[in-house]
Amino acid sequence: MRSVHHQSDQGSGRAAGGQFDPDRRQRFEEIYAIVYEPLQRYLRRRASFDDADEVLDDVLLVLWQRLPSVPAADCLPWCYGVARKALANRRRSNARRQRLVERLGTQPVQLPIVDVGLDDYPALASAFRQLAESDREVLRLWAWEGLEPREIATVLGTSPNAISLRLTKARKKLTRLLDRQNPDDAGHKELEDTGEHQS
C-alpha cells in the first residue's frame, strides 16, 4: 500500500496512465520488444542465470511502474541503469544469505557469477582483469552493450563528458597493460589472429 489515501481512480487503473490504459500498454509492449533481449544479455553477463532471470522481472516491473518517465530515445540505457541497481541489490541479498549460511555453520554456498569468457584470449583477459572494476564496467558497457558515452552516462547516472574521460582513461590503461605483455606481445597477437589488428 503506497499511501493510505490513493486517488479514487487509482485502484481501478482505468485512469490515464493506469494499468488498463491502452496507450500505456501499447507503449510498454513497444519498449518491451526493444529491451527484452538486450536486458537478458546485460544481466547474464553480470549474474548467474537464475539471478539474471529474477532481476529481469524486477527491471520489467520498474519499467512498467515508471513508464511515463522513461526517456523515449534512451529507453534501453534507462533499463540498463535500473538493472544495474537491481543487480547491486541482488548481490547484497546474496551476500547476506551467504553470511547467514556461514553463521549457521553450514557449507558456504558458492554463488555462481558469470564472469567473462576469458579463456580464449588469456593475455587480453589478464589485462582486462587488472583494471579497476569501474574501468571494466565502463568498457563492458562500451564494447559489450555497444553503448556510446551519452548512453553510458544514462546507465551510470553521470554526465557524458565524465564518461568520455573515464572511457579514454580506461582504454589507455588497458592498452598500456597489453603493451607490457611479454616480448611476443601475446595480447596484440590475439588481435592479429582475428585479423583486426592494424599496426
Partner 1 sequence: MSEELRNSLKRLDPMQSAVSTESPTTESSRHRMERVMSTTTHLANPPTGVQTPKRWVPVLASVVVVAVAVGVFVFAGNGTDPAPVAGPPLELSLGDSNVLASCIIFDVAILRDMPMAFEGTVTAIDGARGTLTVDHWYKGGEAAEVALTGGSADMVSLIGAFPLEVGSSYLVTATDGNVNFCGYSGPATPELRGYFEEAFGA
Q: Rule CB under 8 A: which of 84-123 touch partner 1?
A: 84-86, 88-89, 92-93, 96, 114-118, 120-121
Helix count and strand count (H, E) for the chain: 8, 0
Site map 11..50 versus partner 1, x via CB under 8 A: x-x-xxxxx----xx--xx--xx--xx--xx--xx-----
The C-alpha cell at 71 is 526517456
Can you tell me the distance from the alpha carbon of 100 to that of 70, in angstroms, rounded to the nearest whole number? 37
Q: At its nearest, how many Å lie between partner 1 and the CB of residue 29?
A: 7
Q: CB-wise, 61 or 111, nearer to partner 1? A: 61
Q: Cβ atoms within 10 A of the Cβ of 90, count? A: 20
The window from 53-61, 72-80, 104-112, 158-166 that contacts partner 1 (CB under 8 A) reads 53-61
Can you tell me the distance from the alpha carbon of 135 to that of 91, in angstroms, rounded to the nearest whole number? 19
The window from 63-71, 72-80, 104-112, 158-166 that contacts partner 1 (CB under 8 A) reads 63-71
Q: For 2, what's the count of Cα atoms within 13 Å in the CB-facing half-sphere? A: 5
3-state secondary structure of 106: coil
Q: CB-wise, 146 or 183, nearer to partner 1? A: 146
3-state secondary structure of 14: coil
**Binding flag, residue 131, partner 1 (CB under 8 A):** no
Looking only at residues 141 through 170 of this chain, which bind partner 1 when binding is defined by CB under 8 A?
142-144, 157
